[in-house]
Homo-oligomer: A and B are copies of this chain.
Amino acid sequence: MAADPSIDSAANRIRIVLVGTQHPGNIGSAARALKTMGLSRLVLVAPERFPHIEAHALAAGADDVLAAAPVFATLAEAVADCRLVLGCTARSRRVALEEHLPRAAAALVMARAGEGAEVALVFGRERTGLTNDELQLCHAAVHIPANPEYSSLNLAAAVQVLAYELRMAMLEAGEAGGVATSAAGEPASHAQLEGFFAQLADTLDAIDFHKGRAPESAMRKLRRLFLRTALDVREVRLLRGILADAQRMARLAVARAPGEAPPRS
């Protein structure tokens, strides 16, 4: 159970899986990272040394998370009941997996967990990450966009970043008055976002927003704004519905006074 009463039960369907961890201290630090972010389900796959005094030392007050962590021999067993498995990779180029940034991954995880599915976020070995066979068990990859010249995030630091994004997604869901089930939906695809941007550009033309100015500047700012928001599918639908009504009003205004406001292509 999550120790934080503000966290919905969706959090209890999210497991963080550490595969083949070499340093027991990292297991303890990961447990601490989880608990600070209101998560509690740590799962270990073939850790090199566990239980270990160093894991408990670094867990600080998160010993309960360590004590509750099941240990499996293989990743396949650890995620057997999961409907979504995301694998953290330094680079996923080795396999043909869709790759998400941490924020989008957190939205996806919360969406699935909110629907009642068991979800796993998988972290590989300190030096070598996940094997190709292990990555094949993942439905998508998560990539923390680290400095390409020095991308060696500590394992616990990577867990901390993902756990932080999960907590932000949970808090946003709670803040909006809903439970996590209706919070962050499935992330919009690239094509859905481009469809929205195309309609947004058309709408700006229709309502004569640019007034002779170059349209690129406004659209660049709007793209930046909406891309960083990680829109979900329903939000794109909502925004496009609003644009459709604005376009309809603009057509009415123009149709009723064709001489005053010429339609734009």
Task: Name which residue of chain B comes closest to A235, CB basis.
Answer: B225
- Within the assembled complex, what's the spacing in Å between the Cα atoms of A101 and B165? 12
Across the interface, which residues of B come within 8 angstroms of A176, CB to CB? 220-221, 223-224
Across the interface, which residues of B come within 8 angstroms of A172, CB to CB? 224, 227-228
Is A82 close to B, CB under 8 A? Answer: no
Is A62 close to B, CB under 8 A? Answer: yes
Number of interface residues of A (CB under 8 A): 76
Across the interface, which residues of B come within 8 angstroms of A137, CB to CB? none
Across the interface, which residues of B come within 8 angstroms of A102, CB to CB? 164
Q: Is the interface of A mostly helix, strand, loop or mixed?
A: helix
Chain A 174-214 residues near chain B, CB threshold 8 A: 175-178, 183, 203-204, 206-209
Known contacts A29-B154, A61-B150; can you find 13 more A-B pairs with CB under 8 A? A7-B147, A35-B147, A38-B146, A145-B168, A153-B160, A161-B161, A183-B224, A206-B249, A221-B234, A222-B238, A252-B253, A253-B256, A256-B256
List the interface of chain A (C-beta within 8 A of B).
Answer: 2-4, 6-7, 29, 32-33, 35-38, 60-62, 101-103, 144-154, 156-157, 160-161, 164, 167-168, 171-172, 175-178, 183, 203-204, 206-209, 218, 220-229, 231, 234-235, 238, 241-242, 245-246, 248-250, 252-253, 256-257, 261
